């Protein structure tokens, strides 16, 4: 199976140093379990993604692209030439705009289906099909079986990346590939204004909107929540305690009610 | 000009209340002449703003005393239905569309926040249009003026995006908001690519003057005037809090989906298996501490409750529980809805791991343990006795359910 992993020049969220985004390292791990993946990077400098060689790739195709140019036409042309069965990408970039639109634009340009937020990929039962597990959060999955080439984005709940191997990183090669189509013009600068990030208060769940400051403080510190209305049973009968616990768990909906159970 | 001469005796006799052996007078009745007698207590009660738990008074409003008498209750009652009156925007100047996830036909908390954000953009003149794929209940109280329910589509997300894009092209709203959830963010990007319009994703501030989103690893924020498509981050904008709106259903005459055959062969939902799901993702964690000696019973209980097992550091250090089950600062920080702590004292390092849990149930022999203080349901009892009791109760319920069906 031919697999392409899209690599981006990421930045570390804290230090700002150039790193391989974790999602892409996870994508390499998924891909390495299926075959020998090839990395694909479009950008001014291939050194930015050289780390990916140590994470499990043996070959990276690099399309030189001026800084700030739109990578989608170039990537689409290269992928058309490579004709992979599976294209993996991170669900969001890291260090740039982080809008996560590139895989969607690519899938539209290639006319391929896109499956978002996968955590595992396996070959399907029928030939030419793939079984992808999409994350629904909290460990729940949606298992999708797709025919033929597909673009998939990787969710952070996917297995952790492989360990970095220095020897492998030295053996791997980065092949420059000529851009097949001229790079699109740099995307028109959208009318966005940038400022240093300012943290904003998260909404406090259950805070009264019109309440007094004291009420809002109580909601924020959790005093008004479960802890304030907390029930304390001192030395109850164990059976009584068990009933209370089950009633409480059912009240908050983490335990299924007893009566009509589908499985015997 | 002479004033009429008052006869206090006659006046008093006029207001004497008949009943009772002792003479009683009703001074609240309006005296024949002169100023009405003021009664500050009901006046104050009339100024009270209904609803708030702490007393609040609206001093700008002066309620005439006689109007108060016997009418306070009526006024308060009259105020409630007025607040619940459904607000109708007959002819909205423009529309702000919201495409909720509405899994299972119900708005999620995130969807409600997006409706709140849409109201900020719509202001007083605009109308909010909910475009849902499949049915969607209770849009009106959440703030929708119009509701366009598209027919259910198959499992292909592209088909869904095509339907939504077609509906948006017909409705031509000024702004369209999506929730930035797993499915909502996916749909937003598909619609953006399909319509060829940029998407302002993950907006953390929504105001008519501009949207703000974080970028470059939250080192900068980007601000732009609201465009056509935007998605709203979770827990960033408050829900709509105004009076309910009508959510008038709109008819649509969109042609049925004419997409080429989908390459998606099958879709199946696999619920999380509590026994194997990683601790950081688990919804319900039952955890054992140093107070538990009988770990076999604990494991049975965890399986019977369909919980994910956890442990305090003491048990992991002793090798009684695997290291990956450790909860706390040097273990896993939980995002669970409920945490069930058995025999755990609640050391600060342990409580750090539980800080994000909404509900905590604790069983501990020590009334003064920190875990008992943190818990929503705290039981001061021997966990060794409570665990078998729980197992017995669960087994009995299962048996009864088996007999019943
Ligand atoms: C740097 C550092 C990092 C740490 N990180 C972590 C961490 O990540 N996670 C973590 O858990 N700990 C951590 N610890 C350890 C932590 O400080 C505590 O020592 C530990 O959490 C205590 O575990 P415990 O509550 O199970 O045991 P104990 O403190 O011994 O508490 C046992 C509790 O069980 C109760 N009990 C006894 N018998 C019964 C019974 N029959 N029925 C019911 N209750 C009973 C007792 O009343 C007591 O409250 C860390 C410590 C350090 C120094």
Residue in chain B closest to A103 (alpha carbons) equals: B189
Which of A:92-131 have CB within 8 Å of B? 94-101, 104-105, 107-108, 113-114, 116-117, 124, 126, 129
Q: Cα-atom radius of gyration of chain A, to the nearest Å? A: 25
Q: How far is B362 from chain A (nearest CA, A)?
A: 9
The total of other beta-carbon atoms located within 10 Å of residue B4's CB is: 7
Question: Residue B48: CB partners within 8 Å, gap ≥ 6?
Answer: B55, B56, B57, B58
Pocket probe for ligand 1: among B293, B298, B344, the residue whose CB has the most ligand atoms within 8 Å is B344
- The structure tokens listed for B154 are 């198959």
Cα separation, B112 vs B139, in Å, equals: 9
β-strands B205-207, B210-215 pairing: antiparallel
- The structure tokens listed for A245 are 């616990």
Quick one: DSSP state of residue B115? H
A13 reaches B (C-beta below 8 A):
yes
Tell me the CA distances in angstroms from A84 to A40, A53, A88, one per residue in order.
Answer: 11, 19, 10
Cα separation, B237 vs B143, in Å, equals: 14
Are residues A53 and A62 in contact, defined by beta-carbon separation less than 8 angstroms? no
Residue at token pair 């004291």: A214
Overall pTM surpassing 0.90 (yes/no) = no
- Helix H or strand E segment including B207: strand B205-207
Are residues B146 and B114 in contact, defined by beta-carbon separation less than 8 angstroms? no
- Domain residue spans in chain B? 95-249, 279-397
- The structure tokens listed for B104 are 């299972």
> For the domain B279-397, what is the CATH code?
3.40.50.1220
Are residues A102 and A72 in contact, defined by beta-carbon separation less than 8 angstroms? yes
Are residues B173 and B95 in contact, defined by beta-carbon separation less than 8 angstroms? yes
**Residues of chain B neighbouring A150 (CB-CB closer than 8 A):** 263
Helices (H) and strands (E) in chain B, counts: 12, 18
CA B275 / ligand 1 centre spacing (Å): 23
Cα separation, A9 vs A47, in Å, equals: 9
Q: Does ligand 1 lie within 6 Å of residue B352's CB atom?
A: no
Q: Please, what are the domains in chain A?
A: 3-177 (3.40.50.620), 202-258 (no CATH)
The total of other beta-carbon atoms located within 10 Å of residue A23's CB is: 23
Whether B95-249 shares its CATH topology with B279-397 is answered: yes
Beta pairing partners, A143: A133, B268
Interface predicted TM-score of the whole assembly (ipTM), two decimals? 0.87
Quick one: DSSP state of residue B57? B
CA B280 / ligand 1 centre spacing (Å): 20
CA-B331 nearest atom, ligand 1: 8
**Residues of chain B neighbouring A221 (CB-CB closer than 8 A):** none
> For the domain B95-249, what is the CATH code?
3.40.50.620
Which of A:34-53 have CB within 8 Å of B? none
Interface A–B counts its CB contacts (< 8 A) at 262
Residue from B300, B302, B273, B303 nearest B311 by CA: B302
Are residues B199 and A98 in contact, defined by beta-carbon separation less than 8 angstroms? no
A196 reaches B (C-beta below 8 A):
yes
Cα separation, B206 vs B236, in Å, equals: 9
Written as tens digits, the pLDDT of chain B (405 aa) is 577 788 888 888 888 887 778 888 887 766 555 666 778 888 888 888 777 678 888 777 665 545 555 444 444 444 444 456 888 888 899 999 999 998 888 888 899 999 999 999 998 899 999 999 888 888 889 999 999 988 877 788 898 999 999 999 999 999 999 999 999 999 999 999 999 999 999 999 999 999 999 998 888 999 999 999 999 999 889 888 888 998 899 887 777 666 567 788 888 888 888 888 888 888 899 999 999 999 999 999 999 999 999 999 999 999 999 999 999 999 998 988 899 999 999 999 999 889 888 889 999 999 999 999 889 899 999 999 999 999 999 999 988 887 765
A202 reaches B (C-beta below 8 A):
yes
CB-nearest partner of A138 from B156, B283, B380: B283
User: Which tens digit of pLDDT belongs to each residue from A116-171?
Assistant: 999 999 998 988 899 999 998 888 899 999 998 999 999 998 999 999 999 999 99
Taking CA atoms only, the protein residue closest to ligand 1 atom 48 is B345
């Amino acid at each position: 199976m031919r697999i392409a992993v899209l690599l981006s020049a990421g930045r570390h969220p804290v230090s700002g140093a150039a790193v391989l985004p974790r999602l892409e390292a996870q994508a390499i791990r998924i891909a390495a379990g299926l075959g020998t993946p090839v990395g694909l990077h479009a950008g001014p400098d291939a050194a930015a993604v050289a780390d990916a060689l140590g994470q499990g790739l043996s070959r990276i195709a690099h399309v030189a692209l001026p800084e700030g140019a739109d990578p989608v036409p170039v990537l689409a042309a290269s992928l058309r030439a490579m004709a992979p069965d599976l294209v993996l990408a991170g669900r969001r970039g890291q260090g740039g705009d982080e809008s996560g639109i590139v895989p969607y634009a690519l899938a539209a340009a290639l006319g391929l289906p896109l499956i978002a937020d996968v955590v595992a990929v396996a070959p399907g039962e029928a030939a030419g099909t793939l079984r992808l597990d999409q994350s629904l959060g909290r460990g729940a999955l949606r298992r999708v079986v797709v025919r033929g080439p597909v673009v998939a984005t990787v969710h952070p709940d996917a297995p952790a990346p492989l360990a970095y191997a220095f020897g492998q990183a030295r053996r791997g090669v980065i092949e420059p590939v000529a851009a097949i189509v001229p790079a699109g013009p740099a995307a028109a600068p959208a009318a966005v204004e940038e400022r240093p990030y300012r943290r904003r208060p998260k909404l406090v769940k259950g805070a009264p909107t019109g309440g007094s400051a004291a009420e809002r403080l109580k909601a924020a510190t959790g005093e008004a929540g479960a802890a304030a209305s907390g029930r304390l049973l001192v030395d109850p009968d164990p059976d009584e305690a068990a009933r209370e616990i089950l009633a409480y768990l059912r009240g908050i909906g983490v335990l299924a009610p007893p009566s009509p159970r589908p499985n015997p | 000009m002479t004033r009429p001469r008052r006869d206090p005796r006659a006046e008093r006799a006029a207001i004497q209340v008949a009943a009772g052996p002792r003479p009683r007078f009703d001074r609240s009745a309006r005296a024949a002449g002169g100023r009405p007698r003021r009664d500050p207590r009901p006046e104050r009660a009339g100024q009270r703003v209904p609803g708030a738990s702490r007393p609040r008074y609206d001093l700008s409003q002066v309620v005439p005393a006689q109007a108060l008498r016997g009418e306070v209750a009526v006024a308060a009652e009259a105020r409630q239905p007025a607040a619940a009156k459904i607000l109708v925007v007959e002819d909205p100047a423009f529309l702000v569309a919201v495409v909720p996830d509405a899994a299972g036909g119900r708005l999620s908390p995130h969807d409600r926040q997006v409706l709140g954000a849409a109201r900020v953009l719509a202001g007083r003149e605009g109308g909010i249009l909910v475009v849902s794929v499949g049915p969607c209940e209770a849009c009106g109280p959440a703030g929708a003026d119009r509701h366009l329910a598209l027919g259910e589509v198959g499992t292909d997300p592209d088909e869904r995006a095509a339907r939504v894009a077609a509906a948006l092209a017909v409705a031509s709203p000024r702004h369209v908001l999506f929730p930035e959830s797993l499915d909502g963010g996916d749909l937003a990007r598909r619609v953006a690519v399909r319509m060829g319009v940029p998407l302002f994703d993950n907006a953390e501030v929504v105001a008519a003057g501009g949207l703000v989103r974080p970028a470059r690893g939250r080192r900068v924020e980007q601000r732009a005037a609201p465009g056509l498509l935007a998605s709203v981050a979770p827990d960033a904008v408050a829900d709509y809090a105004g009076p309910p709106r009508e959510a008038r259903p709109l008819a649509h005459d969109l042609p049925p989906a004419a997409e080429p055959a989908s390459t998606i062969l099958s879709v199946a939902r696999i619920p999380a298996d509590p026994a194997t799901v990683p601790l950081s993702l688990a919804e319900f964690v039952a955890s054992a501490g140093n107070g538990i000696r009988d770990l076999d019973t604990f494991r049975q209980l965890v399986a019977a409750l369909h919980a994910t097992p956890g442990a305090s550091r003491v048990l992991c250090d002793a090798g009684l529980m695997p290291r990956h089950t450790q909860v706390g600062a040097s273990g896993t920080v939980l995002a669970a809805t409920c945490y069930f702590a058995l025999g755990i004292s609640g050391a600060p390092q342990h409580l750090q791991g539980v800080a994000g849990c909404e509900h905590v149930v604790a069983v501990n022999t020590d009334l003064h343990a920190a875990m008992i203080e943190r818990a929503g349901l705290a039981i001061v009892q021997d966990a060794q006795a409570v665990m078998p009791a729980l197992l017995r109760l669960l087994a009995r319920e299962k048996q009864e359910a088996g007999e019943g069906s």
